[in-house]
């Protein structure tokens, strides 16, 4: 809408277009197709359903013309609005979905079908989508999963690999394993591109090799399982990367000497050293130009039942396990190197600090070339314990932090020690790429441009 000063305030979309897994979907088109293909249907609504498993499409099907203006949401029960599909309706839905697959791309086909006794309305002609969303949000994951299947009876996994993938899917999508059949599609029961990456990672950790492309080609459980390769140890089957082997032999000794000097540690304290990625170099360059930038701080309030000494021990083991948390970056003549220093436990002293002063401390300014790129502290204030952790984005990202925290939890609970794939595996992959085409493109693209001074 227009404001009094002529500016425009965006409220929401006027049409019914949404995004599912990054792809635009026109809800009215899906509704039209369902009306055309589903026999005896009277009312149809399609909406986006946001769950802890991601976004998916839900279809509301009503075989009567009845509409009702509902009272407050707390006065309306789920059973009053939704009903379980009969065998006849299941058959109709199965036939309809089969037709939709010939008319629409997979991402435009709803993965949840809810049968409504009537449709909630605001007026005699306007559908009350807000109430439908609220009522749907009251359904549990298992209830939604039950409505996700077109067939009344699922085919159970038949092979050991299928059963292992069934368990992995259940943990990723946060649904019960028994609700997943061998014909179920990962992308139709809540999976998306992000959870597909998670699936690949978790499968590899359990010795099952699969690619994201395989999931998108055919996301049925039986298809994914058939493409998986048993590796008996996942990525550990790859050749181990020896320390310093990714450094050119001609500069190895000089690089270690420089690393020792810039990091202020003896050579014997250096566990490994290898080249940085372009992103790491760029982030460090920006921090050198503007100290304190690209440094994040996290504050976690520990629950009262957490054993603090045990937590500290678990974090120290996590740091020992994850080389990125012990990484420093140093500049060299042609490029930067990342140096992994052997673990030296150093908890920040917080006796004379408050939580606020700790969070806003100038320690971030110290995260520069040769210096540690993360620090951590345990602080007690107002009878509560806080774990404060700060790290430079050159050594972690949003995905990595989840891996680190999961490892911390696993170690604290004294479950099996997690196996983390070292970062040097990606560096080896990156070094093996042919960068000549990319270099040629950017040289042409930036020809004649003005260069910024650094630092």
Distance CA 413, CA 311 (A): 9
137 pLDDT tier (thresholds 50, 70, 90): confident
Q: What is the pLDDT of residue 148?
A: 61
| Overall pTM surpassing 0.85 (yes/no) | no
Using the structure block, give the residue that is written with the tokens 């004649």.
448
* Contact of 336 with 280, CB cutoff 8 Å: yes
In the chain, residues under CATH classification 3.30.559.10 are 249-432
Res. 239 pLDDT band, cuts 50 70 90: low
Q: Which residues contact 74 (CB under 8 A, 6 or more apart)?
A: none
Q: And the tokens for 295?
A: 């440094």
| 8-state DSSP, 271 | E
Alpha helices in 303-423 (DSSP H): 308-321, 355-359, 398-412
Owner of token pair 């300014």 = 365
What is the location of CATH 1.10.1200.10 in the chain? 160-230
Q: Which CATH architecture has domain 160-230?
A: Orthogonal Bundle (1.10)
Picking from 224, 211, 95, the residue whose alpha carbon sits closest to that of residue 151 is: 95
170 has pLDDT over 80: yes
- For residue range 280-326, what is the model confidence (pLDDT) as tens digits? 999 999 999 999 899 999 999 999 999 999 999 999 999 999 999 99
Q: Give the Cα separation of 359 and 362 in Å (integer).
A: 9
pLDDT value for 7:
63
Which residues touch 271 (CB under 8 Å, ≥6 apart)?
A: 243, 323, 326, 340, 341, 342
**Helix locations, 17-159, DSSP H:** 27-37, 78-81, 87-103, 129-137, 141-148
Q: What percent of the chain has pLDDT over 70?
A: 89
Q: Any idea which architecture 249-432 has in CATH?
A: 2-Layer Sandwich (3.30)
Instruction: Give strand ranges (E) for 276-416.
Output: 295-301, 327-331, 336-341, 374-381, 384-392
Count Cα neighbours of 377 within 13 Å in the Cβ-side half-sphere.
Answer: 21
17-148 falls under which CATH superfamily?
ANL, C-terminal domain (3.30.300.30)
Q: H helices of 328-377, where?
A: 355-359
Return residue ranges of the chain for CATH 3.30.300.30: 17-148
């Amino acid at each position: 809408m227009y404001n009094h000063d002529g500016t425009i305030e965006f409220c929401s979309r006027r049409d019914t277009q949404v995004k599912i897994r990054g792809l635009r979907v026109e809800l009215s088109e899906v509704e039209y197709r369902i009306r055309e293909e589903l026999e005896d249907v009277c009312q149809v609504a399609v909406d986006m359903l946001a769950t802890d498993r991601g976004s998916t499409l839900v279809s509301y099907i009503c075989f009567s013309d009845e509409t009702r203006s509902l009272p407050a949401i707390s006065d309306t029960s789920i059973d009053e609005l939704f009903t379980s599909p009969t065998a006849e309706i299941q058959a109709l839905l199965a036939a309809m979905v089969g037709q939709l697959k010939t008319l629409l791309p997979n991402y435009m086909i709803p993965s949840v079908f809810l049968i409504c006794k009537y449709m909630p309305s605001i007026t005699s002609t306007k559908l009350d989508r807000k109430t439908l969303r609220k009522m749907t949000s009251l359904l549990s994951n298992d209830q939604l999963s039950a409505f996700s299947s077109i067939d009344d009876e699922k085919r159970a996994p038949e092979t050991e690999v299928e059963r292992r993938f069934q368990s992995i899917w259940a943990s990723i999508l946060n649904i019960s394993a028994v609700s997943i059949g061998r014909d179920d599609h990962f992308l139709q029961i809540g999976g998306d591109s992000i959870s597909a990456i998670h699936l690949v990672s978790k499968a590899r950790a359990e010795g099952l090799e699969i690619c994201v492309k395989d999931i998108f080609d055919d996301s049925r459980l039986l298809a994914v399982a058939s493409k998986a390769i048993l590796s008996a140890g996942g990525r550990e089957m790859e050749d181990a990367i020896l320390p310093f082997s990714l450094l050119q032999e001609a500069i190895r000794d000089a690089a270690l000497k420089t690393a020792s000097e810039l990091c202020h540690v003896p050579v014997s304290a250096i566990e490994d050293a290898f080249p940085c990625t372009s992103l790491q170099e760029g982030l460090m360059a920006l921090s050198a130009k503007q100290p304190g930038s690209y440094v994040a701080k996290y504050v976690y309030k520990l629950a009262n039942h957490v054993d603090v000494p045990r937590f500290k021990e678990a974090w120290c083991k996590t740091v020992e396990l994850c080389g990125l948390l012990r990484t420093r970056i140093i500049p060299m003549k042609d490029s930067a190197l990342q140096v992994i220093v052997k673990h030296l436990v150093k908890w920040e002293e917080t006796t004379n600090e408050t939580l606020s002063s700790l969070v806003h401390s100038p320690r971030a300014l110290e995260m520069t070339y040769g210096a540690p790129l993360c620090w951590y502290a345990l602080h007690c204030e107002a009878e509560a314990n806080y774990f404060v952790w700060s790290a430079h984005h050159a050594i972690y990202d949003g995905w990595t932090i989840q891996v680190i925290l999961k490892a911390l939890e696993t170690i604290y609970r004294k479950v099996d020690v997690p196996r983390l794939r070292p970062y040097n595996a990606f560096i080896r992959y990156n070094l093996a790429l042919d960068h000549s085409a990319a270099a040629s493109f950017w040289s042409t693209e930036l020809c004649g441009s003005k260069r910024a001074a650094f630092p």
